[in-house]
Amino acid sequence: MIPLETYLATHLGYTVWATRRTLRAVGRLSPEEYGRDLGTGHGSVRGTLEHMLQADWGWYELLAGENPGLEEPPDPTYYAEFGHLETDYQVILARYQQLAGFLVDPELALYFANSQMHVPWLEASIPKWQGVMNIVSHATYHRGQLATSIRHFGHPPLETDLIDYYIELYGQNPNFLAREQQQN
């Protein structure tokens, strides 16, 4: 069986890879398309990306115990410029990549206290490994929304399927379980 830290690091790596591909696809939108309210959960592509960025920023702080090195935006219109959002998001994604290398099994079983999470609707303490999987799940959900929005504007989204990541990471035979067992 694959070690938990390897599994989580692989999937955190997938989130970084897929989000970067999504940002490249969003970068092809016009400023009007980027900000247009589509009546979706977060309104626009910009709104969805801002939500994702804020969530990833918060989860990074929780997992790493530190600020990723970003300042709060100077005003609510700061992310109206896609370049500002992309720059800040790349900081978070780079920190996630670093964090993936430091995921160790004993620590992953430790719980976040409710008071640490600052999530008013979440009334539970959770182990860190569940926090990592929530990062992956949350980003996957919203990248799907973004792909729909990008298609709505007539642009092709970039593929972000998990199997595409495995193939890029492990080659044409993405049997990482066999590879892990050979290394152990």
Contacts of 27 (CB under 8 A, 6+ apart): 82, 86
With 0-12 / 13-18 / 19 or more C-beta atoms within 10 angstroms meaning exposed / middle / buried, residue 44 is middle
CATH number of 4-158: 1.20.120.450
The predicted-structure confidence for 78-130, as pLDDT tens digits, reads as follows: 999 999 999 999 999 999 999 888 777 777 777 766 555 566 656 667 788 88
* Greatest alpha-carbon span in the chain: 52
Parse the chain into domains and list their residue ranges. 4-158
Interatomic CA distance for residues 29 and 123, integer angstroms: 39
Bridge partner residues of 126 (DSSP)? 112
The predicted-structure confidence for 11-63, as pLDDT tens digits, reads as follows: 999 999 999 999 999 999 999 999 999 998 899 999 999 999 999 998 888 88
